[in-house]
């Protein structure tokens, strides 16, 4: 008998479709198989604007990358097959794939058009059963849509995603709980999703190039370098499960209950921030007003003028400087 899911180590899948746009195009047009295929803007023989949205592994091997200017891709690879994106088709296929994944998950988290996290803890016998179950998921997607995917398996999301990145294409890589530290240690910090060029440069300047070095870096020092980002980054480097795949809510409810709780918490934080901003603005206004009054009194004192009366003192003549009677213009001397 299996122990309750909540008492067991989580088994998380990161499922990533392989070169999704290109794979869908090849399914529709088999003659493209083996060709360098680039999906994106019209290159216009090197004069086009826009970027590469996706490319085949053959194109990647020749230096093409997603996000690259389409004009540069043309200069590098003018003989590739350039295709405009078919958003309707990609969206329809993605929806079908995600339906398959939902059917195989305790908890499903849709990341993008071609990737998702699955918590399958209650559906497998620990990590011993994860490999066979992952193969079943891959087979189900291939049967439904004729497409290949790669699956990374780990006890947390960040490690599972790194595993799938390393196993592409059409791969399967399992990182058991006891293997997480050794698996992550030699990898460059840029393998962590969300670590871009700027963060990598800051870390490298501090002598941190690998995830292992990041895990060993003093927490206080890391916080000085990266501020709030240090917390999640340090957790990922140490293989700590900071965030579950999603809330433990039935799939038919549409969205996890924990999401609502998060939004409620976020709303409370937002309200508190707004309250503090209002209080700060009021305090600043009060201070500014007091400062202006002090400056005006000082100016009048230096000019040899009498102190200005309270403008709200509407019952006495002192409220009308020099007896000129401001109210005269309105046809009345008081309120």
Residue 328 lies in a domain: no
- Do the beta carbons of residue 113 and residue 92 sit within 8 Å? no
- Do the beta carbons of residue 40 and residue 85 sit within 8 Å? yes
72 and 151 housed in the same domain: no
CB neighbours of 35 closer than 8 A, spacing ≥ 6?
56, 58, 80, 81
The average pLDDT across 313-324 equals: 39
Q: Does position 181 have pLDDT exceeding 60, yes or no?
A: yes
- Do the beta carbons of residue 159 and residue 151 sit within 8 Å? no
What's the number of CA atoms in the CB half-sphere (13 Å) around residue 214? Answer: 33
13 and 144 housed in the same domain: yes
Model confidence at 230, in pLDDT bands (50, 70, 90)? confident
Catalytic residues: 115
- The pLDDT tens digits for 117-132 are 999 999 999 999 999 9
How big is the CA angle at 272 (ends 271 and 273), to the nearest 5 degrees? 90
Residue 64 lies in a domain: yes
Residue 276 to residues 282, 283, 288, Cα–Cα distance (Å): 10, 10, 18
| Number of independent structural domains in the chain | 3
- The pLDDT tens digits for 251-294 are 333 344 333 333 334 444 434 444 444 445 555 555 566 666 66
Helix 219-226 with 229-237: angle, nearest 10 deg: 130
9 and 140 housed in the same domain: yes
pLDDT on residue 166: 97
The average pLDDT across 104-125 equals: 96
| Separation between Cα atoms, residue 211 and residue 25, nearest integer Å | 37
Q: What is the mean pLDDT of the chain?
A: 80
Residue 332 lies in a domain: no
pLDDT on residue 3: 54
**CATH code at 44?**
3.40.1170.60
12 and 143 housed in the same domain: yes
Residue 248 lies in a domain: no
pLDDT on residue 228: 82
Q: Does position 243 have pLDDT exceeding 80, yes or no?
A: no
* Domain interval for residue 264: 258-303
DSSP state of 58: H
93 and 122 housed in the same domain: yes
Q: Does position 330 have pLDDT exceeding 60, yes or no?
A: no
- Considering only CA atoms, give the Rg of the chain: 31
Model confidence at 314, in pLDDT bands (50, 70, 90)? very low
Residue 184 lies in a domain: no
Q: Give the residue carrying structure tokens 């501090």.
A: 206
């Amino acid at each position: 008998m299996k122990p309750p899911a909540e008492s067991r180590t989580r088994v998380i899948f990161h499922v990533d479709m392989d070169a999704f746009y290109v794979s869908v195009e090849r399914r529709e047009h088999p003659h493209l198989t083996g060709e360098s295929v680039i999906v994106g803007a019209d290159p216009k023989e090197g004069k086009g604007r826009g970027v590469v949205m996706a490319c085949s592994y053959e194109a990647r091997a020749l230096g093409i990358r997603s996000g690259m200017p389409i004009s540069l891709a043309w200069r590098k690879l003018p003989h590739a097959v350039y295709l405009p994106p078919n958003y309707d088709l990609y969206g329809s296929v993605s929806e079908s794939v995600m339906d398959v994944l939902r059917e195989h998950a305790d908890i499903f988290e849709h990341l993008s058009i071609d990737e998702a996290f699955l918590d399958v803890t209650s559906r497998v016998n620990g990590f011993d059963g994860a490999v066979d179950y992952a193969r079943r998921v891959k087979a189900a997607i291939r049967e439904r849509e004729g497409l290949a995917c790669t699956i990374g398996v780990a006890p947390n999301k960040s490690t599972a995603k790194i595993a799938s990145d390393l196993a592409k294409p059409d791969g399967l890589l399992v990182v058991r709980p006891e293997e997480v530290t050794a698996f992550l240690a030699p990898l460059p910090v840029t393998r962590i999703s969300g670590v871009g060029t700027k963060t990598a440069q800051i870390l490298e300047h501090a002598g941190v190039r690998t995830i292992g070095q990041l895990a060993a870096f003093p927490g206080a020092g890391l916080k000085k370098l990266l501020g709030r980002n240090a917390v999640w980054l340090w957790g990922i480097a140490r293989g700590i499960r900071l965030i579950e795949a999603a809330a433990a809510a039935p799939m038919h409810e549409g969205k996890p209950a924990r999401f609502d709780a998060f939004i409620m918490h976020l709303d409370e934080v937002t309200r508190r921030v707004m309250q503090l901003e209002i209080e700060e603005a009021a305090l600043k206004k009060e201070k500014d007003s007091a400062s202006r009054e002090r400056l005006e009194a000082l100016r009048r004192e230096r000019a040899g003028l009498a102190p200005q009366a309270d403008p709200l003192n509407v019952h006495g003549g002192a409220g009308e400087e020099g007896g000129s009677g401001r109210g005269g213009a309105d046809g009345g001397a008081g309120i």
